[in-house]
Amino acid sequence: MNFIEKLNHAWRASDSLLCVGLDPDVTRFPQPLHNLDRKQAILEFNKAIIDATHDLVCAYKPQIAYFAAESAEAQLAQTIAYINAHYPHIPVILDSKRGDIGSTAAMYAAEAFERYGADALTVNPYLGTDSVTPFTAHAERGVVLLCRTSNPGAADFQDLDVGGMPLYQKVAQTVARHWNTHGNCMLVVGATWPEQMAAIRKIAGDIPFLVPGVGAQGGDVEALVKAGQRPDGLGLVINSSRAVLYASQRDDFAAAARQVALETRALINRYRARP
Amino acid sequence: MNFIEKLNHAWRASDSLLCVGLDPDVTRFPQPLHNLDRKQAILEFNKAIIDATHDLVCAYKPQIAYFAAESAEAQLAQTIAYINAHYPHIPVILDSKRGDIGSTAAMYAAEAFERYGADALTVNPYLGTDSVTPFTAHAERGVVLLCRTSNPGAADFQDLDVGGMPLYQKVAQTVARHWNTHGNCMLVVGATWPEQMAAIRKIAGDIPFLVPGVGAQGGDVEALVKAGQRPDGLGLVINSSRAVLYASQRDDFAAAARQVALETRALINRYRARP
């Protein structure tokens, strides 16, 4: 089963478009983990969050920077291996925003797909076609291209007009027309920009969107679901990290994370098309 | 001493604009290292190259992807620690091309500057201002923004006209006008594009360029030095990786690397202004 098939299956099995982002920030961990070694705490925290939310999500998205800052590559590998062993139907998107010349991109593909066993990774499109093909050539894996990101600075370059359309739409068009030949691409479209999301949906057809920015970043769920979903009520992988992960600082942190995930799934589902 | 001061000193002390890129590809290692454990081979290879070239370079540029693909983060840390211990006057630019939202960028800054002790790192500008300030806020470290990269696909987006200038020039202008407030920015300008380099020099003033693409990628040294150097004959960090690293497959690999580095420094110096 390739990445997109796995995602399609996970959307339906969980009745959820919610993705939980695994951004383990040791300084925000709940009290019960404070007496563990930092690296051990990262792994135990992730496992508790995964066990508490696995039936409510269509994907997990570990953010590699949080592991790298703590020298916790082994715990990243163990976290993904834990998902693959216990919940093998849930796709894992490694959020690494890689982007480099071809020979280097091949090394990053080995990192994400072989070393970590991720189903997909995020990639920055700035370097163009030959920086992306070493990833998309893995036809059974997913490649999630940054298009319109969720942060305030997204407009600085992504909104610049490049001959009748903003750059982010040109990226979407390039992915749809040229880079998605194996049908394994997705686009990052921030939850904070529903108007732009609607425009990208028109360009991108059925290509799924990874949507960061719900929760701590303040994205409007109703607006984004209406703007981004496909006619089949699918097509979105809506990420929430901090609002789920740090829902409680106490013993009940996993239960509290589950409760936020439940509520977020329900909120998303309220606006989904049900054909 | 901040990064730019360190670079200025290294240019003069080595009489060199050459940077050796540390891209340890185990499959291309010389014969004498074949019987070592892969990770041990990476560290020994790097140390041999560094010892053989330290007086000929203005910087080293380890490419993190080659270490990450081999689970060799410890060897990356040890390589940089080796340079810092034995050749502390030589700046280390970590080539990681990071780029993410602010909270995540802060984690990548911790990775590069605290964990690895790099003097500078490369950053992708696609996410805009708030993705860059967590790096530039470290005023004593360097931030090297991708501008016009050396690969064939660079033209796909970087050359698009954005209101009277190509995107890569808009990036250069943004760096020069807004992101270089601490005077700690550089720009990546591929050796393969001397015409574009001359245009960027006009926009960027004194900002140093990191110039990949000499050697294996085929950049023309005369054209790029004439296009990119400042009136003081400095301002360029010209990277060569594969041509130096894999100059010989035999026992003499370190001496062969030194010979290529010597020749490349001399070739570069032939076209430098000597005010």
- Give the pLDDT confidence of A140-158 residue by residue, as tens digits: 999 999 999 999 999 999 9
The total domain count for chain A is 1
Give the model's pLDDT for residue A219.
Answer: 72
In a domain, B275, yes or no: no
Residue B252 has pLDDT above 80, yes or no: yes
Angstrom CA distances, B99 to A12, A70, A134, B58, stand at: 33, 18, 19, 26
B17: Cβ contacts below 8 Å, ≥ 6 apart = B11, B58, B225, B229, B234, B236, B237, B238, B265, B268, B269, B272
In a domain, A223, yes or no: yes
Q: What is the CATH number of the domain that holds A51?
A: 3.20.20.70
If we measure between CA atoms, which residue out of A118, A116, A114, A120 comes closest to residue A136? A120
Q: Do A128 and B155 touch (CB under 8 A)?
A: yes
Cβ atoms B22, B49 nearer than 8 A: yes
Burial of B160 (0-12, 13-18, 19+ CB in 10 A): middle
Residue B29 has pLDDT above 80, yes or no: yes
Q: Do B100 and A65 touch (CB under 8 A)?
A: yes
Q: Could you give the dihedral angle defined by the CA atoms of residues A4, A172, A22 and A7, in that order, rounded to the nearest 10 degrees?
A: -10
Give the model's pLDDT for residue B213.
Answer: 86
How would residue B111 be classed by pLDDT, with cut points 50, 70 and 90? very high
Residue A180 has pLDDT above 90, yes or no: yes
Task: Looking at the complex, report in whole angstroms how far the Cα of residue A232 sits from the nearest Cα belonging to chain B.
Answer: 31
Collapsing DSSP states into helix, strand and coil, what is residue B37? coil
In a domain, B102, yes or no: yes
Q: Do B151 and A132 touch (CB under 8 A)?
A: no
DSSP sequence for A188-212: EE-TT-HHHHHHHHHHHTT--EEE-
In a domain, B18, yes or no: yes
Q: Is A102 within 8 Å of chain B by CB?
A: yes
Q: Is B174 within 8 Å of chain A by CB?
A: yes
Task: Looking at the complex, report in whole angstroms how far the Cα of residue A113 sits from the nearest Cα belonging to chain B.
Answer: 10
Residue of A nearest to B69 (CA): A111
Q: Is B164 within 8 Å of chain A by CB?
A: no
% of chain A exceeding 70 in pLDDT: 99
Query: What are φ and ψ of residue A62, in 5° steps?
Result: -70, 135
Q: Do A151 and B101 touch (CB under 8 A)?
A: yes
Query: What are φ and ψ of residue A241, in 5° steps?
Result: -110, -80
Which residues in chain A have their CB less than 8 angstroms from residue B126's CB?
124-126, 146, 149, 157-158
Give the model's pLDDT for residue B219.
Answer: 72
Q: Do B170 and A153 touch (CB under 8 A)?
A: no
* B56-78 confidence digits (pLDDT tens): 999 999 999 999 999 999 999 99
Which residues in chain B have their CB less than 8 angstroms from residue A121's CB?
none
Q: Do A68 and B100 touch (CB under 8 A)?
A: no
Q: Do B127 and A108 touch (CB under 8 A)?
A: no
In a domain, A275, yes or no: no
Q: Which of A66, A107, A156 sits opposite B69 (nearest CB)?
A: A107
* A215-235 confidence digits (pLDDT tens): 767 779 999 999 999 999 999
Which residues in chain B have their CB less than 8 angstroms from residue A66's CB?
104, 107
Q: Which of B130, B157, B167 sits opposite A152 (nearest CB)?
A: B130
* A201-220 confidence digits (pLDDT tens): 999 999 999 999 887 677 79
In a domain, B57, yes or no: yes
Mean pLDDT across chain A: 97
Q: Is B100 within 8 Å of chain A by CB?
A: yes
Q: Do A171 and B163 touch (CB under 8 A)?
A: no
Cβ atoms B97, A98 nearer than 8 A: yes
Mean pLDDT across chain B: 97
Task: Looking at the complex, report in whole angstroms how far the Cα of residue B239 sits from the nearest Cα belonging to chain A.
Answer: 14
Angstrom distance (rounded) from CA B213 to CA B205? 22
Q: Do B170 and A150 touch (CB under 8 A)?
A: no
Task: Looking at the complex, report in whole angstroms how far the Cα of residue B273 sits from the nearest Cα belonging to chain A.
Answer: 31
Give the model's pLDDT for residue A111.
Answer: 98
Which residues in chain A have their CB less than 8 angstroms from residue B160's CB?
162-163, 167, 170
In a domain, B263, yes or no: yes
Active site residue B97: yes
How would residue A275 be classed by pLDDT, with cut points 50, 70 and 90? confident
B184: Cβ contacts below 8 Å, ≥ 6 apart = B2, B3, B4, B136, B138, B139, B140, B141, B142, B143
- Domain limits for position B109: 3-270
Angstrom distance (rounded) from CA A92 to CA A61? 6
Angstrom distance (rounded) from CA B274 to CA B92? 26
Q: Is B40 within 8 Å of chain A by CB?
A: no
Q: Do B97 and A100 touch (CB under 8 A)?
A: yes
DSSP sequence for chain A: --HHHHHHHHHHHHT--EEEEE---GGG--GGGTTS-HHHHHHHHHHHHHHHHGGG-SEEEEBHHHHHTTT-HHHHHHHHHHHHHH-TTS-BEEEEEE---HHHHHHHHIIIIIIS--SEEEE-GGG-HHHHHHHHTSTTSEEEEEEE-SSGGGHHHHTSBSSSSBHHHHHHHHIIIII-TTS-EEEEE-TT-HHHHHHHHHHHTT--EEE--SSTT---HHHHHHHH--TTS--EEEEE-HHHHTS-SSTTHHHHHHHHHHHHHHHHHHT----
Question: Which among B97, B170, B202, B226 is annotated as catalytic?
Answer: B97
Q: Which of A152, A153, A170 sits opposite B160 (nearest CB)?
A: A170
In a domain, A214, yes or no: yes
* Mutation for A interface: B116, B126, B171, most A CBs within 10 A: B126
Give the model's pLDDT for residue A215.
Answer: 76
Query: ipTM greater than 0.90, yes or no?
Result: yes
Question: Which among A61, A97, A170, A226 is annotated as catalytic?
Answer: A97
Q: Do B162 and A162 touch (CB under 8 A)?
A: yes
Q: Is B157 within 8 Å of chain A by CB?
A: yes
Which residues in chain B have their CB less than 8 angstroms from residue A146's CB?
126-127
Give the model's pLDDT for residue B90.
Answer: 98
Angstrom distance (rounded) from CA B193 to CA B96? 22
- At position A161, the amino acid (one-letter code) is D
* Token pair recorded at residue A60: 């997990």
* B185-224 confidence digits (pLDDT tens): 999 999 988 999 999 999 999 999 999 988 767 779 999 9
Q: Could you give the dihedral angle defined by the CA atoms of residues A140, A146, A151 and A155, in that order, rounded to the nearest 10 degrees?
A: -160
Mean pLDDT, residues B161-183 taken together: 97
Give the model's pLDDT for residue A256.
Answer: 98
